[in-house]
Structure 1
Amino acid sequence: MQTAKNLVDISVKTKQTKKTTINFSDYMVYIIFAIVLVAFTLMFGDKFFSVNNILNITKQTAMISIMAVACTFVIGAKEIDLSIGSTVALSSIIVALVLQSTNSILLAVLAGIALGATVGLINGMFVTKVGIPSFLVTLGMLSIIKGAAMWTTNTAAVPITNDTYNFIFGLGQIGPVPILLIWTVVALVIGYFVLNKLPFGKKVMATGGNELSAKYTGINVDRIKIAVFVMSGIAASFAGMLYAGRVQTARYTFGEGDELSVIAAVILGGTSMAGGVGTVIGSVIGSLLMGIINNGLIIGGLSISQQMMVRGGIIILFVALSTLGSRRKARK
């Protein structure tokens, strides 16, 4: 009897220990973020860790952060969107042209959002109805939209002279807080609410985790996938508006390479490429982490080629650490 009681006590203690065990892989991006922040502060002092520089980093990463929030849903559904960079460019140009013609901010914004939603809808329809892998569909769409952005203005930049638009979508500040940071927070709050509080978010992760099981539970996986592509397109078009407002000009070069930065931020943030797991907070932290690394390398005086090499190596290292942590968690 005493032995049985001891076994029960050991079992209870084991369960309690498991409950209190912290899975560091869940917080890897935050740990890395803190380490990099402290390291760069010690290395560069006030040149790096100052209010102005930190706010500048948030402005530089705002567009990536906003797209990363939407991309969390795409990757969480086990898909990928490579067309967001070119959507950024074409959206900025469409918005600038509408502003030139009508001087209406509302019409310009609606035109930009309509463009992004249309691109996302086309991507989603080809993936779900035609059955083409999202990698190939969005890669082809990247080329089509990029060409359209170049052809629309014959590669010329389109100036934006509407001061109100530039204030709202780029240059403005409310007190010391940049408007771009406010837009990032808005996107983060909306994304967090949709992912964690609405049934849609659970359906997205269920679709990415096991599409067949999701179908058996009554989830319309095609509709879910189309929806996440539309979200991604709208976020990319909005990022294009912010790019244009920040520099008061629209260019076909906006967004070049952003698709890779966004995907890297999302993966660094803890969203699984295998689908079914995602966190918008982690994605935004991943975006800020990349911004901090870029900023620190610039302050350190590295050339552009050196920055690219170091940045790529750091991303591989951090993703490897996150992946190893996730694997250990899965074994447990």
Structure 2
Amino acid sequence: MQKEKDPKAPHRSLQNRLGGNAGVASIAVFFVCCAVAFSFATDTFLTTGNLLNVLRQSAPLLIVATAMTLVITTGGIDLSIGSTLALVGALAAIALHAGVADGVVLIGGLLLGALIGAINGYFIAWAGMPAFIVTLGTLSVVRGLALLITQGYSVPIENDGWFVQLGRGHLLGVPMPAVISIATLLAGWFALRHMRFGRYVVGIGTNAEGVRRAGVNVRIVTLKVYILSGAAAGLAGLITTARLGSGSSNQGVGFELAVIAAVVLGSTNLFGGRGTILGTLLGALTIAVLGNGLILIHVSPFYTQIIQGAIMLLAIWMNTRIFSPQRSRKG
């Protein structure tokens, strides 16, 4: 007797081929759809100048989202990155205005960001406080320090030093911020996929107690993850100040939400245990393309956030309801 064909077999075969990459595949499809739609809607979207501008503007998001992928993979969260970006950027502008050498400003900004991350990591890993509460507190404290130091004013910087090249320079025709973000993404991908540190990060998000019993110092790994997050936010602050030509305490407002959205949109599990740098890249670029495309088609800025939020909800729905292997197995 001939065996009856299962009508769901093609769908299951697709899921088997995609495996754990179903979420990344879904955001890749969504990203391509957005790019194609904006390409037909406006003649300027696919121009070289516009695409390079998208890369330049999205560089801080890509840099910090890479580190945030590690944080969320451990089951944590870092809400202080936007405030760290603002404080580092403002202090960098003040230091440059005072005549401090560009190299000292660069190293100092990275160290300050790492210090803020270390404070977060200490309270989370050693004091046992929830990451949400700790980083929410440092968000307020750090933003307040930035406001206190700048008194709410923007601090301009000179354009004659090499520091501004971090935000405005080019390397082989590619904007320097994009080059830095690509290097950061590659380092994050290598660490997560091919280093023992990356396996520890995934293990902590899956079963922290089991990792601890295997002899791993969970506290130190957690501390390192938050230090990386703070340093990435500091680097983003330096690049933002260099690109805009000024430092301000108002920079990075809502930045942490965009970063978290990019990571989760890229199918990193918000509750830990699974992270993907490729997905984060696609998630961040999707957010950047949406913002850029809506401006090019002259959508009112009053509607931009509504449309972006609705589209991101649709993308996440596609991820969880259509491309999810778990849902496929239940079907």
Structure 2: gaps of 5 or more residues: 1-12
Query: Which residue is 1:278 aligned to?
Result: 275
Report if the CA contact (8 A) 1:169-1:245 is conserved: yes
* Residues 164 and 245, structure 2, Cα contact 8 Å, conserved in 1: no
Displacement after TM superposition at 1:246 (Å): 0.1
Deviation, structure 1 residue 103: 3.2
- Cα–Cα, structure 1 residues 330 and 152, in superposed 2: closer, same or farther, change >3 Å? farther
User: Which amino acid counterpart does residue 328 of structure 1 have in structure 2?
Assistant: R
Which residue number in structure 2 is paired with residue 165 of structure 1?
162
Larger Rg: 1
Change (3 A) 1:329 1:73: farther
Alignment of 1:244-323 (within 5 A): 244-323=241-320
For residue 163 of structure 1, give the secondary structure of its aligned residue in structure 2. Answer: coil
Aligned to 1:328: 327
Which of 220, 238, 243 aligns to 2:240? It is: 243
- Contact conserved, 1:117 with 1:233, CA < 8 A, in 2? yes
Indicate the residue corresponding to 2:17 in structure 1.
21
- Asked if 2 retains the 8 angstrom alpha-carbon contact of 1:203 and 1:224, the reply is yes
The structural deviation recorded for 1:257 is 0.6
Q: Distance in 2 between matches of 1:329 and 1:165?
A: 53
Measure, in 2, the Cα distance between the counterparts of 1:155 and 1:26.
Answer: 41
The 1-side partners of 2:269 and 2:161 are apart by 40
The range that moved more, 76-85 or 92-101, is: 92-101
The percent identity for this pair of structures is: 35
| 2:24 and 2:278 in contact (8 A); partners too | no
Deviation at 1:297, TM superposition (A): 0.9
1:127-167 deviations in Å (ceiling 9; x for gaps): 12222111111011101000100101211211111533344
**How many aligned positions are there?**
321
1:78-89 to 2 correspondences below 5 Å: 78-89=75-86
Amino acid at match of 2:35: L
TM-fit CA distance, 1:261: 0.2
Code of the aligned partner of 2:119: I
- For structure 1, list consecutive stretches of 5 or more residues without a partner in the other structure: 1-16
Residues 319, 157 of structure 1: alpha-carbon distance in 2 compared, 3 angstrom cutoff: same
* Residues 57 and 18 (structure 1), Cα distance of their counterparts in 2 relative to 1, 3 Å cut: closer
SS at match of 1:21: helix
Rounded to whole Å, the distance in 2 between the matches of 1:22 and 1:279 is 14
Does residue 57 of structure 2 align to residue 60 of structure 1?
A: yes
Amino acid at match of 2:185: L
TM-score by length of 1: 0.91
How far did 1:320 drift? 2.0
Cα shift readout 1:230-258 (whole Å, capped 9, x = no counterpart): 10000000000000000111111111110
CA distance in structure 2 between the partners assigned to 1:208 and 1:25 by the alignment: 18
- Which one of 231, 235, 245 corresponds to residue 228 of structure 2? 231
Query: Aligned-residue CA RMSD in angstroms?
Result: 2.3
Matching residue of 1:37: 35
The Cα offsets for residues 247-284 of structure 1, whole Å up to 9 and x where unpaired, read as: 11111111111000000000111211021111112112
Q: Secondary structure at the match of 2:98?
A: helix
Amino acid in the other structure paired with 2:25 = Y
Q: Distance in 1 between matches of 2:16 and 2:115?
A: 47
Q: Does the 8 Å contact 2:15/2:328 carry over to 1?
A: no
Q: CA deviation at 1:21?
A: 2.8
Distance 1:288 1:210 in 2: 31
Matches within 5 A, 1:5-16: none
Residue 140 (structure 1) aligns with: 137
More helix by share: 1
Q: CA deviation at 1:22?
A: 2.8
**2:175, 2:90 → 1: CA distance?**
23
- Equivalents in 2 of 1:113, 1:102: separation in Å? 18
Q: Report how far residue 329 of structure 1 moved.
A: 5.7
1:180-203 CA-partner distances (Å, limit 9, x unpaired): 111111111111111111100110
Following superposition, the deviation at residue 175 of structure 1 comes to: 3.9
TM-score scaled by length of structure 2:
0.91
Larger displacement relative to structure 2 (291-300 or 214-223):
214-223
In the alignment, is the contact (CA less than 8 A) between 2:60 and 2:239 conserved in 1?
Answer: yes
Q: CA distance change for structure 1 residues 18 and 270 in 2, over 3 Å: closer, same or farther?
A: closer
8 Å contact kept, 1:98–1:107: no
> Against the structure 1 CA distance between its residues 246 and 329, is the aligned structure 2 distance closer, same or farther, given a 3 Å change threshold?
farther
Q: What is the deviation of 1:95?
A: 1.4
Moved more, 159-168 or 282-291: 159-168
Which AA in structure 2 matches 1:121? A
Instruction: Verify the 8 A CA contact 1:68 1:262 in the aligned structure 2.
Output: yes
Shift of the alpha carbon at 1:27? 1.2
